[in-house]
Amino acid sequence: MTTRTVTFFNYKGGSGKTLGSAALAAEFSLRGHRTLLVDGDKQGSATQCALAAADDAPFPAMVLNFSQFGDKLHRELARHLENYDYIIIDTPAAADSAITQSALLLADLAIIPVKTSPPDIWASRVAVLSIEEARRINRKLKAVVLANAVDRTTISRVVVEQLPSLGLPVLKSCLHNRVAYQEAIATGSHVSLGGRGARKAAAEMASLADEILNMLEEE
């Protein structure tokens, strides 16, 4: 099969890029797909997630830190395409990031996670502009918005309703504000392995993975 590449990016810090990319990479891997999680952030959060895993229960996907490659990331990743079915890229929160720009040149799909607060949706408009720039070179690039850390507050509901104003398709699946996601990151695990308390989070991730796989298979 042709390798598919998914880039999580948003220039707003704390939007959920590492959470989403790590959880999706783990989900794909547990389904039997050869999956590589690329850490493109010099802070190394995705790498730390994998290192936090127990020796007898390693992080489900392969994790490599490519943050040193800067605007040559897409060239380095091209060398690994034949070894994986899916490559998931976690990017830094910087509007001038060469890593992010390079990742978008290679990506089949860009996912912009947006926390449900007004500052987050405002900041995400800059990310949408980057999609438009990247499509001038990467014409195959699809892009979607992912609602993250959704809760029951009125402001959260209002922001979710405003997400289509970003001008990109909004995924039907969303991630709620659940402790299970943070626990999975902290322990280098996956929410599906978190027991009864993580069932809702596991169901959300399964739904998200299904939706993304369907999008990628449409190509």
pLDDT tens digits along 120-164 = 999 899 999 999 999 999 999 999 999 999 999 999 999 999 999
Is 17 a residue whose pLDDT tops 80? yes
Q: How is residue 73 written in tokens?
A: 């990331």
The CATH number covering residue 199 comes to 3.40.50.300
Q: How is residue 137 written in tokens?
A: 């070179």
pLDDT in tens, 24-57: 999 999 999 999 999 999 999 999 999 999 999 9
pLDDT at res. 38: 97
Q: What is the mean pLDDT of the chain?
A: 93
Q: Minimal CA–CA distance to 35: which of 76, 68, 67, 80?
A: 80
Q: Minimal CA–CA distance to 38: which of 84, 105, 93, 94?
A: 84
DSSP string covering 107-142: -SEEEEEEESSHHHHHHHHHHHHHHHHHTTT-TT-E
Q: Minimal CA–CA distance to 50: which of 168, 210, 184, 201?
A: 184
Domain containing 129 equals 4-217
pLDDT at res. 152: 92
Percent of the chain with pLDDT over 90: 78
- Identify the band that residue 219 occupies on the pLDDT scale cut at 50, 70 and 90: low
pLDDT at res. 193: 81
Number of domains in the chain: 1
Is 194 a residue whose pLDDT tops 90? no
Give the residue-averaged pLDDT of 79-94: 92
The long-range contacts involving 178-181, CB below 8 angstroms and separated by at least 24 positions, are 178/204, 181/19, 181/23
pLDDT at res. 95: 67
Give the residue-averaged pLDDT of 185-206: 89
Q: How is residue 96 written in tokens?
A: 């001038």
- Identify the band that residue 218 occupies on the pLDDT scale cut at 50, 70 and 90: confident
Do 199 and 164 contact (CB within 8 A), yes or no? Answer: no
